[in-house]
Amino acid sequence: MKKVAISIGDLNGIGIQLALENHEAVSKLVEPIYCIDQTMLTQAATKLNLTIPNHFQTVEDIAPSFTIEPGKVSKASGAYAYASFVKAVELAKEKKVDAVTTLPIHKKAWELAGVKYKGHTDALRDFFDAEAIMMLGCPKMYVALYTEHIPLKEVAKSINEADLTRFLIDFYHTAKPTSTVAVLGLNPHAGDNGVLGDEETIIQKAIDHANSTLRQAQGMVAEPVEAYSDPLVPDVAFTPNVRKHYTYYVAMYHDQGLAPLKALYFDEGINVSLNLPILRTSVDHGTAFDIAYSGKEVNGLSYLNAVKYVVGSG
């Protein structure tokens, strides 16, 4: 059974409730190690009126204790969430666990705590000096993001042949798709042959280069199924008929790929960091401050799917 370090997320949010309520189910899949100390765990469980399950393995000396304030963005909760994540990554680096699964953080809380990263993926790039790739989704549909948390006005100028080619090759090697990956164009109608923009010319060159490189690496002589499609028109790429042909997509920017993904599979989607020396999976939802510690039911499907991805990984 694989060991997984669970980064506990923002303790003012729903992450700890997910960990406590799903411990039995998670323990049937992996051996979880929760990056939270007994003091904070006891405080959270008491506030939630939940019993701490048996064999709930924790880690001491995470960060200074603080008073949990449900639904509040705070420096203390941000600092603890970041420290929990760092501890989980350390356990993976030291080969004490097989993977890291992260519960939701609040980016503003990280900022208040002086953390320079916008999120887990940014931090992982720096920790490992590697071009981490963010992929989100579920077995029915996965979406990889070429650009992530940048302003929309910066997306077009971020698309260049060399970087996109490298991204496509790295993604194919690490995601290991079993069929052609759909690549989205940037502009409406995928540019309409240059009428609405010429970024698709750059995207096409990167696709051609990546396909050629991957063919050569696999020693293919006969006409193969291409690794990547030509740029698809974004507004029809996620229609039912098109989705019959593709499971993996590459989006040029955050909302282009995640708006349709979350409309279709919000409750079950996960976040996976690829192209790293370690495997990191995560829930694909936020801290849900509006319902934290309120007694309301919290859907654990995304969390369970994030753990299942680890089980199914090589």
Tens digits of residue pLDDT in 223-275: 567 899 999 999 999 999 999 999 999 999 999 999 999 999 988 999 999 99
Side-chain-facing half-sphere of 204: CA atoms under 13 Å: 12
For residue 118, the model assigns a pLDDT of 87
Identify the residue with better confidence: 228 or 195. Answer: 228
pLDDT at 55 over 60: yes
Give this prediction's pTM. Answer: 0.89
Percent of the chain past pLDDT 70, that is, above it, reads 98
292 CB burial (10 A radius; 0-12, 13-18, 19+): buried
Q: How far apart are CA 206 and CA 184, in angstroms?
A: 12
For residue 180, the model assigns a pLDDT of 96
Average pLDDT on 56-71 reads: 97
Identify the residue with better confidence: 194 or 159. Answer: 159
Q: Quick one: pLDDT band at residue 149, thresholds 50, 70, 90?
A: confident
pLDDT at 14 over 90: yes
pLDDT at 132 over 60: yes
For residue 140, the model assigns a pLDDT of 94
For residue 193, the model assigns a pLDDT of 83
Average pLDDT on 199-205 reads: 96
Lowest mean pLDDT among 62-76, 112-126, 212-226, 298-312: 212-226
For residue 147, the model assigns a pLDDT of 96
For residue 267, the model assigns a pLDDT of 87
Mean pLDDT, the chain, rounded, equals 94
Identify the residue with better confidence: 197 or 106. Answer: 106
Average pLDDT on 173-201 reads: 91
pLDDT at 220 over 60: no
pLDDT at 81 over 60: yes
